[in-house]
Structure 1
């Protein structure tokens, strides 16, 4: 027989209405009573009916998680599972479900977001990217629907809650690292030029070159997808130049892995012939051949903090917009070497 609220109230020696308030985490109930009721729920194996709660609270008890492209491609890059892991931690703590977008095109994703909002399928949305002229962000902002962004909004930055790194400074720092190693011919391989993260990292790279008195070369700038295939395409273009670079900054570890694979196949040594540094510090970076120098951007915390901010927006629609900038750290491994 299924355990009911009455069973829990009897064991905890409280009224059934008190059990309901504890489930709703009412501030009117003391911590001692909450603890007693939760202990009784655990002992009896009682789990609240979230559907019933959602109807009563006019809440879906779900987050929408919007990724920049179809899930089959996105989840080839460990960045996305790791950031979703951070979001899931908060969702689990608050007993929220995750509703992940699966659209294959930008139009598909936009239409799915509209269905989420209009159908009240979710209580709030987390965008895992920020792009120029982002229609989804503009729609959510206009609808005054709770949402947060991982990345920096291209517009209305002061009015939209977002969690990010200082990507301009991070890119400037890794470029300076290569300059200090004696490299002057440094290439930059970024993602889609419409992504704000690509724009910021390219800007930091440019500033570092300018400050060092080095020449900025258009042919050293390549934009590809954040996939191994993107890195392979990029390295092929750069090696075909009359004067190829001696060092490369890749905007993503997965792209860098694609580069390492191609370079190994054609007999070019990293770091003896070419230095590479990238971003994200995913788990495989440490065990690649050679171990990859990279920027740790705290991926898990990006997701965790974005979800925490979203909960605050859901619980208090008047919560002012926040900008959370997480620290980064350059992890120096064996893919970079002094240039002589």
Structure 2
């Protein structure tokens, strides 16, 4: 027979109502009592019926996670599994499950989110990205539905809770690092001006050049769309056409690793011919040859804090919007060379 809530209460020496409050992670219950009740639940093999509880409390105990494109494609980038790991840990601490969108296009994703909201399939939503023109954010604002954003909103930021790095500051810092090592011909590869983090990073890149008296040159910029369209041949042509290019800021580690393989086709060596700095500090970045100098943006913490803010918003709808800045830092390895 299934273990009952009364049996858990008896084992933990508390009332059944206290067990119920522990299951819903009620803030009025002490941590010691929560630990004792959860220990009893584990020892007895008790599993709360969250579906039944949701019918009573009008709560699904589920958080919706919105990907920038289909889950299949996005999860190939190590950023997304890691940020979801952070979200999942905080969700688990509060007895929430997670629900991933799987739309292959922006329109499909929008329709899925509308269905989530109108069907009350989730209690709140986390957007894993921030676009410059995102009707999804405006829809959630209009519906007054609990949500948080990973990334700075382009519009109405004062009305939203969001978690982000200081992308302007850190990109200025790494570009200055290249300049301090003697580089003046510095490219930025992998821009996508549909996303706000790219706009901020480009601003930091431009500020560093301007402060050093180096003119900004559009020819040193190549965007995601061009990379996807032209592939390897497009990158090789870009590297040839931008000589005497000596350094590159790359949008993320995965693209940087791809570029490492392309440079071999041109008989170029990293960092002997071209220095490189990228973003995200994924595990592979430490084991490439050479090991990549990269920016650790604390991906896990971005997810954890976004979930923490969302849970707070779900429990207290009147809480004011918050902006949380997660620290980031450059990890120096072997892909940058000092030149005269």
Compute the TM-score of the two structures, normalised by the length of structure 2: 0.94
Report the counterpart of residue 311 of structure 2 in structure 1. 311
SS in 1 for 2:291: coil
* Deviation by residue 1:63-99 (Cα, 9 ceiling, x = unmatched): 1111111112111110111111110110111111111
* Deviation by residue 1:193-223 (Cα, 9 ceiling, x = unmatched): 1100111111111111111111211111111
SS in 2 for 1:142: helix
1:283 and 2:292 aligned: no
1:272 to partner: Cα distance: 0.4
SS in 2 for 1:240: helix
Report the counterpart of residue 178 of structure 1 in structure 2. 178
| Structure 1 stretches of at least 4 aligned residues deviating more than 4 Å after TM superposition | 27-36, 225-234
Report the counterpart of residue 139 of structure 1 in structure 2. 139
1:230 to partner: Cα distance: 8.6
Q: Distance in 2 between the 1:233 and 1:196 partners?
A: 28
Written as runs of structure 1 = structure 2, the 5 A alignment for 1:1-340 is 1-27=1-27, 33-224=33-224, 232=232, 235-241=235-241, 243-340=243-340
1:157 to partner: Cα distance: 1.2
* Deviation by residue 1:173-197 (Cα, 9 ceiling, x = unmatched): 1111111111111001133211001
* Deviation by residue 1:238-279 (Cα, 9 ceiling, x = unmatched): 213163411100011111111001112332100001111111
Which consecutive unaligned segments of at least 5 residues does structure 2 have? none
**Contact 1:67 1:129 (C-alpha < 8 Å) held by counterparts:** yes
**Contact 1:226 1:252 (C-alpha < 8 Å) held by counterparts:** no
Q: Distance in 1 between the 2:150 and 2:227 partners?
A: 19
Q: Distance in 2 between the 1:208 and 1:31 partners?
A: 48
The 10-residue stretch of structure 1 (197-206 or 13-22) with the greater mean CA deviation from structure 2: 13-22
**Contact 1:238 1:244 (C-alpha < 8 Å) held by counterparts:** no
Which consecutive unaligned segments of at least 5 residues does structure 1 have? none
Q: Distance in 1 between the 2:273 and 2:200 partners?
A: 28
**Contact 1:70 1:105 (C-alpha < 8 Å) held by counterparts:** yes
Compute the TM-score of the two structures, normalised by the length of structure 1: 0.94
* Deviation by residue 1:15-43 (Cα, 9 ceiling, x = unmatched): 43443233233455566654443333222
The 10-residue stretch of structure 1 (319-328 or 186-195) with the greater mean CA deviation from structure 2: 186-195
Size of the alignment, in residue pairs?
340
